[in-house]
Structure 1
Amino acid sequence: MITIGTVLIALLLFTAGGIVKGLLGVGLPMVAIPGLTLIVGLPNALAMVSVPVALANLWQVWQFRQAPGPGGVLVPYLISGAIGTIIGTLILVSLPEAWLELGLATMLIGYVVLRLSNPGLKLMQGAARKSAAPVGFGAGVLHGSTGIAGPIGITYFHAQGLSRDRFILSVGLMFLTFAAVQIPMLGLTGILRADTVLTGVIGLPAVAAGLWIGNMLGRRIEPKVFDWLVLIVLTWTAAGLAWRSVSEFAGG
């Protein structure tokens, strides 16, 4: 049962995630899911963010619809990613929650390390095309099981050296496709309940407000400042998830 306190915390996380997404083009799941997982568990967290993530990315896809996507990459990436999302959702309902939380913590730490190391690797177009299907599948599995495809998906598109509008369009299509597959899967597996969906719907104005604030701040404040703040929050959250999962293992 979702409490009023949980809804209020969800609204704060949706707003924060919307701000980051408005500023950087990505970040709503990365901010909202870990925080909600600490409160309601990973399956419920995914159910809560599913509708806001889908609609936020639908808006960004429409906003950047004129941008050309990376040639020969998106179709195989999205198709294999959709299949991976189905498999990932089945993993979500099959594994103990402690394992899922530990996996999410690992993904967050990996993402932070990638952002900090900033290897500057560039994928040539030929390599990007050849790797589109397997990388998309891996991102889909991650999205289905943890709700966060960023460590694979965002890194993949960023490594291609896309312009901001092409990057946001590509990532938006990725998250929109994955969410479109995951939402019915969450319903079929019994994770998507009326109270979790309602929490997400209630949070839509918070996401919209966050997107607006992020767009406004993006004109005045260096994105690197917010980037560092996000990395700090994600690191702290990853530590909390890891501690909770280890405690559950020890208690079990």
Structure 2
Amino acid sequence: MNTFIAFYQNLGLALTLLVIGTFLLAGTIKGVIGLGLPTVAMGLLGLAMMPAQAAALLIIPATLTNVWQLAFGGHLQGLIKRLWPMLLAIFIGTGAGTLWIGMAGGHWVVRALGAALLLYALSGLFLPTLKVRPDSERWAGPVCGLLTGVITSATGVFVIPAVPYLQALGLNKDELVQALGLSFTVSTLALAAGLLWRGDLGGGELTASLLALIPAVLGMWLGQWLRQRISAPVFKRVFFVGLGALGAHLLISG
């Protein structure tokens, strides 16, 4: 408890409110469209703190919400059997990226985060859904996993290129939501291991991350309520536009 209080005392009131508001918004978006919590959290928190610190704060909210997402749907065993090469490559890529790049700080890391967000937004807005043939999954999955892992290790964002790849597999709605939860869980655990190895994830950061879990869960409940009342395609389009603007700001201002 002392480390929890000390961490947020060091952040100050303004940044503490930013953390709460960020995870409330990120959780709401995830509740509506099934993804976006770490992406939005890293983007907004990246405006006020270093990516390694922001990534440490999202570990517990991202892990628990993703485990919840992958636990329901009834397709977990089949998805693991189909996606394990990609999942293993994500873990390997994150580990290699931690050793090679890591979130050591500096303007280039912030710009890399902005570029990842902008690329993801543009792909969501303008690119048609790709199709991956079953006979191509053997090599495409591991390549996608390695790239996702390296990007995760540098920016804390693990949607590129994992999300477009999973969308291209032709999964039904329930399978896709569960596959996203599975991929994000592996990415979050790999990121946590990398941060722990580099000394960026200690007891204070983990304890402080518990605060972010509360608004994240509240946001997910709100998002699920909103999902029944608004058009998901319209919301998703607005989400990508806002995400692209945020990414462009980080890329330019660094």
TM-score above 0.5, yes or no: yes
Letter in 2 for 1:217: L
Equivalent-residue separation in structure 1 for 2:126 and 2:241 (angstroms): 15
* Cα distance change on mapping 1:65 and 1:100 into 2, 3 Å: farther
Match of 1:185 among 191, 194, 203: 194
The reply on whether 1:223 has 2:232 as its aligned counterpart is yes
Contact 1:42 1:97 in 2 (8 A): no
Letter in 2 for 1:155: P
Flag structure 1 segments of 5+ consecutive residues without an equivalent. 246-252
1:250 aligns with: none
Indicate the SS of the match to 1:203.
Answer: helix
Post-superposition offset of 1:67:
5.4
- Over residues 172-199 of structure 1, what are the superposed CA-to-partner deviations in whole Å (9 max), with x where a residue is unaligned? 1111112112213212212124443333
1:123 aligns with: 132
- Over residues 6-65 of structure 1, what are the superposed CA-to-partner deviations in whole Å (9 max), with x where a residue is unaligned? 121111111111111111111101111110011112111111111111111011111234
2:141 aligns with: 132
Flag structure 2 segments of 5+ consecutive residues without an equivalent. 1-9
Match of 2:57 among 27, 35, 48: 48
TM-score, length-normalised on structure 1? 0.90
Equivalent-residue separation in structure 2 for 1:100 and 1:59 (angstroms): 30
Equivalent-residue separation in structure 2 for 1:23 and 1:212 (angstroms): 9
Equivalent-residue separation in structure 1 for 2:164 and 2:62 (angstroms): 19
The reply on whether 1:83 has 2:95 as its aligned counterpart is no
Contact 1:22 1:212 in 2 (8 A): yes
* Cα distance change on mapping 1:77 and 1:2 into 2, 3 Å: same
TM-score, length-normalised on structure 2? 0.89
Indicate the SS of the match to 1:40.
Answer: coil
The reply on whether 1:92 has 2:114 as its aligned counterpart is no
1:242 aligns with: 251
- Over residues 198-225 of structure 1, what are the superposed CA-to-partner deviations in whole Å (9 max), with x where a residue is unaligned? 3321111111111111111111111122
Contact 1:47 1:197 in 2 (8 A): yes
Q: Percent same amino acid at aligned positions? A: 28
